[in-house]
Amino acid sequence: MLESVLIANRGEIACRIIRTAKRLGIRTIAVYSEADADALFVRMADEAHPIGPPPARESYLQIDRIIEVAKASRAASIHPGYGFLSERAEFAEACLKNGIAFIGPPPAAIRAMGLKDAAKALVQKANVPVVPGYHGAKQEPDFLRQKAYEIGYPVLIKAVAGGGGKGMRRVDKAADFDAALESAQREAQSAFGDPRVLVEKYILSPRHVEIQVFADRHGNVVHLFERDCSLQRRHQKVIEEAPAPGMTPEMRAIMGNAAVEAARAVGYVGAGTVEFIADGREGLRPDRFYFMEMNTRLQVEHPVTEAITGLDLVELQFRAASGEPLTFQQDDLTIKGHAVEARLYAEDPERDFLPSTGKLWALEFPEGEGIRIDTGVQAGDTVTPFYDPMIAKIIAHGTTRDEALDRLAAALEHTIVAGPKTNVAFLKNLCEAKEFRTGPFDTGFIDRNLQALGAVPQPVDLQAAIYGLTELVGSEVLRLSRLQKANLNLPLRRSPWAALDGFLLSGHWRRGIRAVVNGETVDGVMEWLPDSAALFKGKSAIGLGPIAPSSEYSDWWEKAFEANWLDPYAAPTRAPELGVTIVAAGKKATPQDEMLVLRNGRQTSVRMFDPFDVDLEHMDAGSAVKAPMHGKLIALFVKPGDIVEKGQRLAIVEAMKMEHPLVAPLSGEIAEVLAEEGAQVAEGARLISLKVDE
- Any idea which residues carry the catalytic annotation? 297
Site membership for ligand ADP, residue 301 (CB under 6 A): yes
**What single DSSP character describes residue 618?**
G
Which partner, ligand ADP, Mg ion, none, binds residue 165 by CB below 5 to 8 Å per kind? ligand ADP
Per CB under 6 A, the list member of 117, 226, 228, 275 interacting with ligand ADP is: 275
Least Å distance, CB 631 to ligand ADP, is 16
Least Å distance, CB 346 to Mg ion, is 22
Residues 424/430/431/437 CA torsion (nearest 10 deg): 180
Least Å distance, CB 659 to Mg ion, is 18
Q: Of 20 and 299, which has the nearer Cβ to ligand ADP?
A: 299
Gap between the Cα atoms of 167 and 188, Å rounded:
5
Give φ, ψ of 661 to 5 degrees.
-75, 140
Helix (H, G, I), strand (E, B) or coil at 54: coil
Per CB under 6 A, the list member of 33, 212, 295, 463 interacting with ligand ADP is: 295
Site membership for ligand ADP, residue 426 (CB under 6 A): no
Sketch the per residue contact string, 349 through 388, with ligand ADP: x for CB under 6 A, - otherwise: --------------------------------------xx
Which partner, Mg ion, ligand ADP, none, binds residue 233 by CB below 5 to 8 Å per kind? none
Asked whether the beta carbons of 580 and 598 are under 8 A apart, the reply is yes
Q: Which residue in the shown chain puts its C-beta closest to ligand ADP?
A: 83
Site membership for ligand ADP, residue 40 (CB under 6 A): no
Least Å distance, CB 301 to Mg ion, is 11
Site residues for ligand ADP, 516-535, by CB under 6 A, read none
- How many Cβ atoms sit within 10 Å of the Cβ of residue 307? 24
Sequence-ordered list of residues with C-beta below 8 angstroms from that of 377, at least 6 positions apart, any chain: 11, 12, 39, 40, 360, 363, 383, 391, 392
Least Å distance, CB 448 to Mg ion, is 21
Helix (H, G, I), strand (E, B) or coil at 483: helix
Q: Which stretch binds ligand ADP (CB under 6 A): 203-211, 260-268, 468-476, 552-560?
A: 203-211
Which partner, ligand ADP, Mg ion, none, binds residue 299 by CB below 5 to 8 Å per kind? ligand ADP
Site membership for ligand ADP, residue 83 (CB under 6 A): yes
Q: Which stretch binds ligand ADP (CB under 6 A): 80-88, 249-257, 605-613, 621-629?
A: 80-88
Residues 210/109/82/315 CA torsion (nearest 10 deg): 80
Residues 637/643/646/647 CA torsion (nearest 10 deg): -20
**DSSP letter string over 381-438?**
-EE-TTS--EEEEEEEEESSHHHHHHHHHHHHHT-EEESS-BSHHHHHHHHH-HHHHH
Residues 379/382/387/389 CA torsion (nearest 10 deg): 50
Q: How far is CA 28 from CA 38, 100, 138, 223, 617, in A?
A: 17, 14, 46, 29, 47
Between β-strands 27-33 and 4-7, what pairing exists: parallel, antiparallel or unpaired?
A: parallel
Helix (H, G, I), strand (E, B) or coil at 532: coil
Q: Which residue in the shown chain puts its C-beta closest to Mg ion?
A: 275
Helix (H, G, I), strand (E, B) or coil at 157: strand
Q: Of 164 and 474, which has the nearer Cβ to ligand ADP?
A: 164
Least Å distance, CB 165 to Mg ion, is 7
Which partner, ligand ADP, Mg ion, none, binds residue 208 by CB below 5 to 8 Å per kind? ligand ADP
How many CA atoms does the CB half-sphere of 608 hold within 13 Å?
A: 20
In the chain, the amino acid numbered 589 is A
Q: Of 164 and 545, which has the nearer Cβ to ligand ADP?
A: 164
Cis peptide before 243 (omega within 30 of 0): yes
| Three-state secondary structure of 104-153 | CCCHHHHHHHHCHHHHHHHHHHCCCCECCEECCCCCCHHHHHHHHHHHCC
Gap between the Cα atoms of 493 and 506, Å rounded:
20
Gap between the Cα atoms of 316 and 306, Å rounded:
11
Instruction: Give how many residues touch ligand ADP by CB under 6 A.
Output: 34
Between β-strands 602-608 and 509-517, what pairing exists: parallel, antiparallel or unpaired?
A: antiparallel
Least Å distance, CB 300 to ligand ADP, is 4
Least Å distance, CB 387 to ligand ADP, is 6
Q: Of 275 and 347, which has the nearer Cβ to Mg ion?
A: 275
Least Å distance, CB 242 to ligand ADP, is 13
Least Å distance, CB 208 to ligand ADP, is 4
Site residues for ligand ADP, 213-272, by CB under 6 A, read 232, 235-237
Helix (H, G, I), strand (E, B) or coil at 263: helix
Q: Of 209 and 473, which has the nearer Cβ to Mg ion?
A: 209
Which partner, ligand ADP, Mg ion, none, binds residue 318 by CB below 5 to 8 Å per kind? none
Q: Of 210 and 348, which has the nearer Cβ to ligand ADP?
A: 210
Which partner, Mg ion, ligand ADP, none, binds residue 203 by CB below 5 to 8 Å per kind? ligand ADP
Site residues for Mg ion, 254-313, by CB under 5 A, read 275
Per CB under 6 A, the list member of 52, 80, 104, 164 interacting with ligand ADP is: 164
Q: Which stretch binds ligand ADP (CB under 6 A): 16-24, 299-307, 485-493, 605-613?
A: 299-307
Site residues for ligand ADP, 438-467, by CB under 6 A, read 443
Gap between the Cα atoms of 397 and 305, Å rounded:
10
Q: What share of the chain is helix, strand, coil (3-state, %, to 5)?
A: 30, 30, 40
Which partner, ligand ADP, Mg ion, none, binds residue 300 by CB below 5 to 8 Å per kind? ligand ADP
Q: Of 95 and 113, which has the nearer Cβ to Mg ion?
A: 113
Per CB under 6 A, the list member of 200, 306, 348, 594 interacting with ligand ADP is: 200
Q: How far is CA 275 from CA 256, 291, 431, in A?
A: 11, 6, 23
Site membership for ligand ADP, residue 156 (CB under 6 A): yes
Gap between the Cα atoms of 572 and 565, Å rounded:
9
Instruction: Give how many residues touch Mg ion by CB under 5 A.
Output: 1
Sketch the per residue contact string, 8 through 27, with ligand ADP: x for CB under 6 A, - otherwise: ---x----------------
**DSSP letter string over 548-563?**
---HHHHHHHHHHTTS
Q: Of 162 and 280, which has the nearer Cβ to Mg ion?
A: 162
Least Å distance, CB 150 to Mg ion, is 25
Helix (H, G, I), strand (E, B) or coil at 253: helix
Site membership for ligand ADP, residue 205 (CB under 6 A): no
Nearest to 15 by CA among 360, 314, 227: 314
What's the first-to-final CA gap in the chain, in angstroms? 74
Per CB under 6 A, the list member of 107, 206, 280, 349 interacting with ligand ADP is: 206
Positions touching Mg ion (CB under 5 A) are 275
Positions touching ligand ADP (CB under 6 A) are 11, 82-84, 131, 156, 158, 162-165, 168, 200-203, 206, 208, 232, 235-237, 275, 277, 292-293, 295, 299-301, 387-388, 390, 443
